[in-house]
Amino acid sequence: MSKNTEENINRSMDQNIEKISEKYMERAIELAKKGKGAVNPNPLVGAVIVKKGRIIGEGYHQKYGEFHAERNAFASLKESAEGATLYVTLSPCCHHGKQPPCTDAIIENKIKKVVIGSFDPNPLVGKKSVETLKKAGIEVVEGFLKEKCDSLNDVFFKYITKKRPYVVMKYAMTLDGKIATKTGESKWISGEKSRAYVHKLRNKYKGIMVGIGTVLADNPILNCRLKNQKVRNPIRIICDSKLQIPLDCNIVKTAKEQETIIAFANDKLPEGWIVNKKNEENKGENKEEIIKEKISSLQEKGIRLINLFSEKGKIDLVKLMQYLADDGIDGILLEGGGTLNDSAMASNIVDEIVAFVAPKIFGGKSLSPVIGEGVEKVSQAYPLELKEIQQVGEDLKISYKVKNNM
């Protein structure tokens, strides 16, 4: 056999092995996605164990506090994993958290090779897990299908590295960029399939945030409704500087069933969480006393309130993100409207934009997804980077990453 032929055969064998490995990692990615909405603030992780060209075990991280993907994969084994290859979408943990280290399980099960997708930026994991595996004589491949694996965990990466929630601004607009008609009507701009998709997003992110304008205009519930699927309702966060929220609106009426936080801005009251002042005599004529009375009424309905004023008399959104992160909220779906969206962009808290574009034209000067004052020059535009385009029913779903965010 000539040297060239031999090289060609070797190259084609390598390509085949690569393709087969991709198939296993793709399977691990599919498994990881099944944990959506249940693992926060942990990452989504999937794992597949392969021996002699067969998948002999697989698993994913199903619920926060419970077994990690690798341990679930080992639990599914019907035969020994000695000499097998483990495909895992994120570096295995090597520390004692709510669960024992996965590196121990990999070593105990005599795995020969570990193929890893994403690098875990958690300082407790970092490079240590790969070092531990290599020290035990296990071959390790890092960064395999890295981009695809990374995209599973935008929320986790932001939360673990910056201790801030990953914020996704979502809206539905017409092709001429309107989110309501000239009379304020906004039901429904997007089609049924897009609206169903939004409920998947509401299940995925732990929090959902809107401005008081949207509450007053639409009286929404902001819960998660998905057919034939166990779902978790997001925690509702309402930005309402002057506490205008009506006590009989749907959000207040359902606050005992679905966790709700109202952020307001009052520089005459102390900043931070408002403790229950139920027994305090707070009836009276002055504005602060009326506000205190409203606070008590909202608390009685089961709502948490936080006072975070900015210099402009509005809610300080950066401070709000800090509070929410400290409260374990790792991801937020921002559902508008245009005024709050503008502040969120200006405060640099938005990481991603998901726009549903409907095949409709409203015309006129009605609301657009981001209002505010607007920029003067094209060069002052917020820079975005295309992430994905997908057709959903008759609409287009377009996702962008926001560049230069915090």
Ligand X SMILES: NC(=O)c1ccc[n+]([C@@H]2O[C@H](COP(=O)([O-])OP(=O)(O)OC[C@H]3O[C@@H](n4cnc5c(N)ncnc54)[C@H](OP(=O)(O)O)[C@@H]3O)[C@@H](O)[C@H]2O)c1
Residues with catalytic annotation?
70
Residue found by looking up tokens 């002699």 in the block: 52
Q: Among residues 37, 117, 207, 213, which is the contact residue for ligand X, using CB under 6 A?
A: 213
Of 55, 40, 48, 11, the residue nearest 144 (C-alpha): 48
Using CB under 6 A as the binding rule, whether residue 244 contacts ligand X is answered as yes
Closest contact distance (angstroms) between CB of 344 and ligand X is: 7
**Of the listed pieces 61-69, 148-156, 205-213, 245-253, which binds ligand X according to CB under 6 A?**
205-213
Residue found by looking up tokens 């902001």 in the block: 222
Q: What are phi and psi of 33, to 5 degrees?
A: -60, -25
Q: Among residues 90, 105, 111, 189, which is the contact residue for ligand X, using CB under 6 A?
A: 189
Using CB under 6 A as the binding rule, whether residue 191 contacts ligand X is answered as no
Nearer residue to ligand X within complex by CB, 148 or 242: 242
Nearer residue to ligand X within complex by CB, 91 or 214: 214
Using CB under 6 A as the binding rule, whether residue 315 contacts ligand X is answered as yes
Residue type, 325: A
Contact set for ligand X, span 104-123 (CB under 6 A): none
Closest contact distance (angstroms) between CB of 147 and ligand X is: 29
* Total of chain residues touching ligand X, rule CB under 6 A: 31
Q: Would you say 140 and 107 are in contact if contact means Cβ atoms under 8 Å apart?
A: no
Mind giving me the DSSP string for 254-292? TTTTS-EEEEE--TTS-SEEPPP-TTS---SSSHHHHHH
**Cα–Cα separations (whole angstroms), residue 150 to 46, 92, 116, 155:** 12, 14, 11, 10
Q: Among residues 109, 339, 368, 405, which is the contact residue for ligand X, using CB under 6 A?
A: 339
Closest contact distance (angstroms) between CB of 243 and ligand X is: 8
Contact set for ligand X, span 138-177 (CB under 6 A): 171-172
Q: Among residues 194, 241, 368, 405, which is the contact residue for ligand X, using CB under 6 A?
A: 241
Distance CA 368, CA 78 (A): 56
Half-sphere exposure of 366 (CA within 13 A, CB side): 18
Distance of CA 201 to the CA centre of its chain: 8
**Of the listed pieces 17-25, 69-77, 235-243, 357-365, which binds ligand X according to CB under 6 A?**
235-243
Using CB under 6 A as the binding rule, whether residue 335 contacts ligand X is answered as yes
